[in-house]
Amino acid sequence: MMEKTITLCMIVKNEEKFLERCLSSVKSKVDEIIIVDTGSTDGTIEIASKFKAKVYNLEWKADFSFARNFSLEKATSDYILVLDADEYLDDSSNLEKVLETEKDHYTVRIKNYLSSGGAIYHPAVRLFKNNRGLQYFGKIHEHLNVEDKSLNLTHEFGDLIINHEGYKDEIVKEKNKHERNIKILLDEVEKNPSGYNYYNLGNQYKSNEELDKALDAYQIAFPLSKDRLYIQYLLYNMIDCLRQLERFEEALNVVDASIESFPNHTDFHFMKGRIYEELNYLQDAEQAYKQCLKLGEVELFQTLEGVGSFLACVRLGSIYIKQGQTLKAFDMAIEAIKFNKYHMPALVMYLEVVQKTRIPFDQVKEHLSSIFPVQNITDLRNLIIVLTVSKSPLLKEYLEMYQVKVDSSVLGISKLYAKEYEEAYEIWSSIEHIEASEVNDLILLSFLLNQNQLLVKCKNKINISSKEWRILNKVVNGEEVEGQHLSNELEEIFLFIIEKLIYMNEEKKFNSIIKILLTFPNSSLKIAELLNRNGLSQAAQNILLEDYNTSANNPLIVELLADTCVKQKQYVEALSFYDRVISLKSKYELYEKVFHVYEELNDKEGMTLVKNEIERKYPLAKWVK
């Protein structure tokens, strides 16, 4: 077979920020570059000229298909590849290998990067034969007439990935895409109220967080789209809107119907897990995420990357953390890292679990190097970021091991959590301006050194009253403080200090701040919750029992007492406290907790009774059936 020639066809306007990367990714893989410019005023044309592109000027008519078709008319090669400026061909893509089958058109995968760090894959026809009657239609979200049966086209999925940055929030905002797109889409649905147009209108409203409008558009689109390729993602977006609007029962009805129609589409099971997790129906959420792992990733349809692998593992890990099943959470974090070592929440979860279980430092260091070996600069950069965010004592080790040059603030954090307080103080003293995210670290360091000179750097970064500022200074200096109600912001600062002191094994300092804070009204509950969460259940229980005599009717205190009993395997006492809470304020998650206690006791009768009660009171719970 002779090699096929390929023309890259693009339409652009003011794309100097992205165009060079796009063209660099294809310059050795295409024979011709056609660029249709619709009015650039920046350096776009100059960049295109560097790559010997044929540039054509075209007046913008608010019609993407018109501009696309104009670009196709200029192509002279056997095949056409279509890209946008904020896209680029993945390094692994081999166009000539794909074209060996000589099909008329190929569906490829577009990987849309999100601001959250995740990605959504969707399929699209971007590689197709020239002069086969293929044309674009639709003023926006334009697509080729590949379903025209009169053309008698051949097709297959091509092993290509096109990376796309344009869905990131900052880029959408920068390009003002929303206002432009809404205007065109509203005009389109008025002239042609098709399911596809309403689907795209819904997507645009959803991306702008106008969820009610998005849902209305999806509901119109649904009956018009049942035989369309995008129907699964239309349903997914409907469910997600209902979830975000906290219309959970409706969301579960739609997701169950979707799973019945598309049982192997992992995204629906993942969304079901999200809904149940937000309802605190953890048993059902766990089952949904396990089904995601059983099904695996979706290959040929639009999908959220990781739903069948690392995302499901992280969600399962978060459930196990809530349930106090630390070892299971640890296993899920490791599995997530195996699936995707660059998924930062997985690494953060791993480090969080090892901190809570207080595994010896040397063991953590050795184990981390085995599950996350540093093989290149990308590995090192990502690991340094996660160690900084997690406030890990390993940060100093890696900075020194690889002789990494970092900002002074990162160096200060590394010294602080490696317990080199004086060195950390010298570094922070030389930093003129600190970020809001660094305030708690400076206050912790000040408390550890019993000096408040660094506090002045924090004063304008925290929103507390003058009176609370004086309290903070006294606490830092280890002075006695007259108890009073604390604002949420100051309370969170103190809780942060307590948690870090636990991880750093600063027992004396820990005891001193606990003693001070317990003099403040209504502080004991949050302190006890933090202690219980970090493995100090006996200490948490002692604090709560002091309040119980006067607060036996406070369901929050009674429930937390029950939780501390479970952590210490005091199951009979736990059942007594849970029964008390249920009599005060019944809620679903209490029944799950009681069920797990009976499970630990191997009390089949008790388990059955709880399941029957859940089935009677909470029909949304499916696991009991």
- Give the mean pLDDT of 230-247: 96
Residue 169 pLDDT exceeds 80: no
pLDDT, tens only, 208-232: 899 999 999 999 999 999 888 899 9
* Mean of pLDDT over the chain: 93
- Give the mean pLDDT of 320-325: 92
pLDDT, tens only, 103-134: 999 999 999 998 777 899 999 999 999 999 99
Distance (Å, rounded) from C-alpha 97 to C-alpha 332? 38
Q: Are 373 and 338 in contact (CB under 8 A)?
A: no
pLDDT of residue 361: 84
- Give the mean pLDDT of 472-485: 85
Helix axes 588-600, 604-617, angle to 10 degrees: 170
Percentage of the chain beyond pLDDT 90 is 82
pLDDT band at 174 (very low <50, low <70, confident <90, very high): low
Residue 170 pLDDT exceeds 60: no
Classified as helix, coil or strand, 6 is: strand
pLDDT of residue 360: 85
Range in 259-273, 329-343, 355-369 with the lowest mean pLDDT = 355-369
Range in 50-59, 166-175, 234-243 with the lowest mean pLDDT = 166-175
- Within 13 Å, how many C-alpha atoms sit on residue 139's CB side? 19
pLDDT of residue 609: 97
Residue 555 pLDDT exceeds 90: yes
Distance (Å, rounded) from C-alpha 469 to C-alpha 436? 16
Q: Are 566 and 582 in contact (CB under 8 A)?
A: no
Residue 177 pLDDT exceeds 80: no
Distance (Å, rounded) from C-alpha 467 to C-alpha 442? 20
Percentage of the chain beyond pLDDT 70 is 98
- Give the mean pLDDT of 134-138: 94
Q: Which stretch of DSSP H or E encloses residue 251? A: helix 248-261
- Give the mean pLDDT of 522-550: 93
pLDDT, tens only, 366-417: 999 999 999 999 999 999 999 999 999 999 999 999 999 999 999 999 999 9
pLDDT of residue 179: 82
What domains can you pick out in the chain, each with its CATH number?
A: 6-153 (3.90.550.10), 416-521 (no CATH), 522-625 (1.25.40.10)
pLDDT of residue 37: 97
Distance (Å, rounded) from C-alpha 163 to C-alpha 22? 9
Output 177 or 471, whichever has higher pLDDT.
471
Q: Output b/e per residue, 190-212; b: 16+ Cβ within 10 A.
A: eeeebbbbbbbbbbbbbebebbe
pLDDT, tens only, 89-103: 999 999 999 999 999
pLDDT, tens only, 561-618: 999 999 999 999 999 999 999 999 999 999 999 999 999 999 999 999 999 999 999 9
pLDDT of residue 389: 93
DSSP 553: T
Q: Which stretch of DSSP H or E encloses residue 80? A: strand 79-82
Q: Output b/e per residue, 293-309; b: 16+ Cβ within 10 A.
A: bebebbeebbbbbbbbb
Output 520 or 55, whichever has higher pLDDT.
55
Q: Which stretch of DSSP H or E encloses residue 164? A: strand 155-164
